[in-house]
């Protein structure tokens, strides 16, 4: 599987979106739970392909412009999760998010 990762500027390992554009039906994977991300998916199909990720399937790459709110929510979700892990000293030095 080949995809384009979008990550937080301040932490390159904190990915908030995976864009799979080279498919018949392109899709994006985002980490917000379905209850938060689903309503922002502009009535496009949402599935859970892997634990911790929601997948929004588009008819064409042109549908990407409908998903701005979802991408912003995903960015904020990862950023706040990163802050929460940084504030928890019991987390150790593992990769955040």
Assigned domain for 5 exists = no
Q: Is 48 inside any structural domain?
A: yes
21 within a domain of the structure (yes/no): yes
Higher pLDDT, 29 or 92: 29
95 within some domain: no
State residue 32's pLDDT score. Answer: 74
For the stretch 39-72, pLDDT in tens is: 778 789 999 888 889 999 999 999 999 999 999 9
**At residue 87, does pLDDT exceed 90?**
no
Q: What is the mean pLDDT of residues 75-82?
A: 91
Which domain covers residue 25, as residue numbers? Answer: 17-81
CB 3 within 8 A of CB 27: no
| pTM of this structure | 0.78
Q: In total, how many domains does the chain have? A: 1
- In this predicted structure, what is the pLDDT of residue 17? 95
Residue 40 included in any domain: yes
* 41 is a domain residue: yes
How many C-beta neighbours within 10 Å does residue 59 have? 11
- DSSP string computed for the chain: ---EEEEETTEEEEEEEEEE-SSSS-EEEE-S-HHHHGGGSTT--EEEEETTEEEEE-SSGGGGGGGHHHHHHHHHHHHHHHHHHHH-GGGTTPPP-
- Residue 87 is assigned to a structural domain of this protein: no
Task: Please report whether residue 43 resides in a domain.
Answer: yes
Identify the residue with better confidence: 52 or 94. 52
């Amino acid at each position: 599987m080949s995809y384009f990762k979008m990550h937080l500027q301040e932490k390159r390992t904190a990915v908030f979106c995976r864009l799979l554009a080279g498919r018949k039906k392109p899709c994006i994977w985002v980490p917000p739970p379905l209850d938060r991300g689903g309503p922002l998916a502009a009535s496009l199909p949402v599935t859970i392909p892997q634990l911790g990720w929601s997948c929004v399937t588009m008819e064409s790459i042109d549908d990407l412009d409908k998903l701005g709110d979802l991408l912003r929510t995903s960015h904020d979700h990862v950023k706040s999760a990163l802050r929460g892990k940084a504030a928890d000293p019991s987390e150790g030095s593992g990769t955040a998010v």
